[in-house]
Structure 1
């Protein structure tokens, strides 16, 4: 697991600002786009995780270590498959759909090096 990962997925992911507390105006903090397990939906936008915001954040966090990003995503794909098969034992998730959702979106090329 990467330093940015916890038991429920990556810890540092961006998102829309969270409303200030009920006590009145105050600083806002971005809500992280983390997975809601065992459903594997985003806790912020309810899209299948990793949602667009989580993907952007993951690519940014792992910009200099694409291999680590792929290893991390393989790990969460394994966890998601186990959770979803437990929830839906008769139908289960489609393996090709899980691959597309968790791994196929990762850019395959490295960004150009800065001079």
Structure 2
């Protein structure tokens, strides 16, 4: 028997274009962002390291792209951390 997420298809980047393999949008697409936030919900540093590594790959794979635009695309969507009480 399949669980509730059996139909979920992961939204992963296709290299070298860095478009989503599932929906074709620039990666990280909205579903990928939600999935990453859920996967790394208790490991913000891990998420930042993962996204920084993907950004580095994108900078290599997309030499004509503006580095600032790629950094915005890969990192600026992250919510700001909440300060401890």
Q: Does 1:78 align with 2:52?
A: no
**Alignment TM-score, normalising by the size of structure 1:** 0.64
Q: Distance in 2 between matches of 1:75 and 1:42?
A: 17
Unaligned runs of 5+ in 2: none
TM-score where L is the length of structure 2: 0.85
Alignment of 1:47-66 (within 5 A): 47-66=25-44
Runs of 4+ residues deviating >3 angstroms? 110-113
Structure 1 residue 45 and structure 2 residue 23: aligned? yes
Higher strand content, 1 or 2: 1
Query: Per-residue deviation at 1:103?
Result: 0.6
Q: CA deviation at 1:30?
A: 1.4
What's the C-alpha RMSD, in Å, of the aligned pairs? Answer: 2.0
Give the number of equivalent residue pairs. Answer: 81
Instruction: Point out the structure with max Rg over C-alpha.
Output: 1
Higher percent of residues as helix? 2
